[in-house]
Structure 1
Amino acid sequence: MAAATEQKLPIDPKYDSYDFPTTAPEAQPGHPGHTTPEQDEKVLKLREDLEKDGYTERLDTLTLLRFLRARKFDLAASKAMFVGCEKWRKEFGTDTLPATFDYKEKAEVSKFYPQYYHKTDKDGRPVYIEKMGKIDLNAMYKITTGDRMLQNLVTEYEKLSDPRLPACSRKAGKLLETCCSIMDLKGVGITSIPSVYGYVRQASEISQNYYPERLGKLYLINAPWGFSSVFSVVKGFLDPVTVNKIHVLGSGYQKELLAQVPKENLPVEFGGSCSCEGGCELSDMGPWQEAEWARPPAWANKKEEAPAPAAVENEDPGYEKKDAEGQEGVQTSA
């Protein structure tokens, strides 16, 4: 196969309308601006096949390239992944969530499971933080429901795609398609393993199947004793490209983390100097909030015409869920 050289992204005016840079900063094969003629041809063929099957949404070049990279540019596998994603989006009501979903209990839920986007790393990517050691599902189910937690997770993924990543790309002057994630494992013990496993399984399924190629780096900090040994076994089942993105760190993580995230962008509790008014966990600070770089997301224009997300039985945040024995089938990912 011919070597990839830096080039402009092949644009299809019918689907491509970008107001941010479209060349990836690193010359990685298959990434925008670094594709081969054969890879460009596969984008065209995948779009053509999907159009024949009646698909009209999300056929832009950047999106199709992500699905192709996720399946090593295997056309049949990439198409199957895209079709599966579209089926899920329709069933879940994904397209309407960013404009209509109101997670009014977010501040209360955050006390038992902090998860939030906060500023950027040194590469300009959004930083996403989770504190898994504080998970208390029983307390959370007195405030919200498993269904609403899952809707919030998907809403935030949609907002990562637009407006967060486009705003970061404009500010950085280069295409940014991934985020830098920090997962704090402090306090994760034997009693919380079921909760943690449920979250990891659910989040991984949604991320891998429906939002491919969004992970830039993942820092697992405050990893408990023995975690590294377990992870070394798990690595054997992961794609080498994914493994290289994951960094398992113990309690002495600050030096390596600060090498990736500017001190002024990292919350104080993780060794940084940022202390947002009202708390970093609820600030949602980043280029997507800065007038110079922010633009109204595409989904904002559809708010009035979009129906509300499908009603969920007993969705009232004041509704208390059943105990563990009565939660079969409840999706517990936030």
Structure 2
Amino acid sequence: MSVGLKKSPSNGCENLLTSDELQAKINEVRRLIGPLPEKLSIYCSDASISRYLWARAWNVKKATKMLKDSLKWRLAYKPEEIRWEDVAHEAETGKIYRSNSIDKHGRTVLVMRPSRQNSKSTKGQIKYLVYCMENAVLNLPPGQEQMVWLIDFEGFNLSNISVKVTRETAHVLQDHYPERLGVAILYNPPKFFEPFFTVVKPFLEPKTYNKVKFVYADDNNSKKIMEDLFDMDQLESAFGGNNNRGFDINEYAERMREDDKRMFSFWTRGNPPSATPEPALISASLDSINLESDSDASVNEKTNVSPSNQVEQEVVSSGEDILATDVSKNAT
């Protein structure tokens, strides 16, 4: 596969198209999108477009619509312009950070510890998550498009579940970072989390659900999963590895400041910033794309997209009811 996602055991990406067929679809998406300002043009690399195609089962119209929505989001949110000083207060407890090490497939590893949440601001939490995602992508090696999430459930309880944050997180990750997840390790999740995840499961695409691995420290099969994915000498001891360094906010801040410099260089290609095109003109250009000329565009995309906000609300609410019941049973 000359372009597109790099195949790894966990992402399940198979060469369903020949290189020529995939390139033709990429070219068609790029034609439908049309001319773009520099940063958005940089974002629309062949590898990036192929991720949107993969997320929409190679349907050009649907992939173009998804990409167009992401471009509008990036134009308004400017994720590549978020800097460490903007989010440092959210990072203090180590609730999300990029690991010093990578997995055996060369993928960036994001460590997440939901019990260390230190903010009630949904806006602030999402901004920091976006910063971490952009940083993780920046540190991917050439040819690798996906990352690993290591989610540590130590100290996790019901108070760590937020419907609003969960919904917004799902929206941002699924709609604007398609096929970035290679595998998600849920490490030692408490029993009350499992019924909640069971409620959410039917709304996940099979390929997404297959990327989620429940791992327990006292389970031999789980140990093999970790050994197959990671160099145990580099893996943190909290996840069964031999690395006892842990998270140091001062050291991490220095790493992020250096990465911020690289981020600027990447998005400007080392050139001084040019005059910013008027957002209204760019938006008009994006809005001019005709996505409804093909009957496929109006088809309900349930199998390809995340659930609507209303359905997500119902799912999460149902999950919370199950959690409350489960906890009540355990208490008695």
Residue 156 of structure 1 aligns to a residue whose secondary structure is helix
- Which residue is 2:168 aligned to? 202
CA distance in 1, matches of 2:61, 2:27: 14
**In 2 relative to 1, CA 38–281 (structure 1 residues): closer, same or farther, beyond 3 Å?**
farther
Given that 1:96 and 1:306 are in contact with CA atoms closer than 8 Å, whether structure 2 keeps it comes out as no
Given that 1:224 and 1:250 are in contact with CA atoms closer than 8 Å, whether structure 2 keeps it comes out as no
- Which residue is 1:116 aligned to? 97
Residue 85 of structure 2 aligns to a residue whose secondary structure is coil
Letter in 1 for 2:96: Q
TM-score (norm: length of structure 2): 0.67
Residue 247 of structure 1 aligns to a residue whose secondary structure is strand
Matches within 5 A, 1:120-135: 120-135=102-117
Letter in 2 for 1:115: I
Given that 2:90 and 2:128 are in contact with CA atoms closer than 8 Å, whether structure 1 keeps it comes out as no
Gaps of 5+ in 1: 1-5, 11-21, 139-144, 170-174, 308-334
Measured against aligned partners, the alpha-carbon deviations of 1:293-321 in whole angstroms (never above 9, x if no partner) come to: x99951265686389xxxxxxxxxxxxxx
Matched, 1:137 2:103: no
Residue 259 of structure 1 aligns to a residue whose secondary structure is helix
Matched, 1:187 2:160: no
Given that 1:116 and 1:281 are in contact with CA atoms closer than 8 Å, whether structure 2 keeps it comes out as no
CA distance in 1, matches of 2:196, 2:210: 16
**In 2 relative to 1, CA 296–264 (structure 1 residues): closer, same or farther, beyond 3 Å?**
farther
**In 2 relative to 1, CA 105–69 (structure 1 residues): closer, same or farther, beyond 3 Å?**
closer
Matches within 5 A, 1:242-253: 242-252=208-218
Matches within 5 A, 1:12-51: 24=7, 28-30=13-15, 35=18, 37-51=20-34
- Which residue is 1:142 aligned to? none
Residue 248 of structure 1 aligns to a residue whose secondary structure is strand
| Offset of residue 38 of structure 1 | 3.1
Residue 229 of structure 2 aligns to a residue whose secondary structure is coil
Measured against aligned partners, the alpha-carbon deviations of 1:97-122 in whole angstroms (never above 9, x if no partner) come to: 3xxx233663x544545211111112
Gaps of 5+ in 2: 276-332
Measured against aligned partners, the alpha-carbon deviations of 1:43-102 in whole angstroms (never above 9, x if no partner) come to: 1111111116887453321111011111111111111111111111111123433xxx23
Matches within 5 A, 1:146-185: 146-162=122-138, 164-165=139-140, 168-169=141-142, 175-185=143-153
Given that 2:96 and 2:112 are in contact with CA atoms closer than 8 Å, whether structure 1 keeps it comes out as yes
Matches within 5 A, 1:1-334: 6=1, 8-9=2-3, 24=7, 28-30=13-15, 35=18, 37-51=20-34, 56-97=41-82, 101-103=83-85, 106=88, 109-112=90-93, 114-118=95-99, 119-137=101-119, 146-162=122-138, 164-165=139-140, 168-169=141-142, 175-194=143-162, 197-252=163-218, 255=223, 256-276=225-245, 279=248, 282-283=251-252, 297-299=265-267, 301=269, 305=273
Measured against aligned partners, the alpha-carbon deviations of 1:123-144 in whole angstroms (never above 9, x if no partner) come to: 2211111111222435xxxxxx
Larger proportion of helix? 2
| Offset of residue 259 of structure 1 | 3.1
Residue 265 of structure 1 aligns to a residue whose secondary structure is coil
Given that 2:187 and 2:239 are in contact with CA atoms closer than 8 Å, whether structure 1 keeps it comes out as no
Residue 84 of structure 2 aligns to a residue whose secondary structure is coil
CA distance in 2, matches of 1:235, 1:219: 15
| Offset of residue 23 of structure 1 | 5.6
Identity of aligned residues (%): 21
CA distance in 2, matches of 1:296, 1:264: 33
Residue 44 of structure 1 aligns to a residue whose secondary structure is helix
Residue 218 of structure 1 aligns to a residue whose secondary structure is strand
How well do the aligned residues superpose, as a CA RMSD in angstroms? 3.7
**In 2 relative to 1, CA 277–297 (structure 1 residues): closer, same or farther, beyond 3 Å?**
farther
Letter in 1 for 2:23: D
Residue 110 of structure 2 aligns to a residue whose secondary structure is strand
**In 2 relative to 1, CA 280–270 (structure 1 residues): closer, same or farther, beyond 3 Å?**
farther
| Offset of residue 30 of structure 1 | 5.0
**In 2 relative to 1, CA 200–252 (structure 1 residues): closer, same or farther, beyond 3 Å?**
farther
Paired residue total = 264
**In 2 relative to 1, CA 212–153 (structure 1 residues): closer, same or farther, beyond 3 Å?**
same
**In 2 relative to 1, CA 154–302 (structure 1 residues): closer, same or farther, beyond 3 Å?**
farther
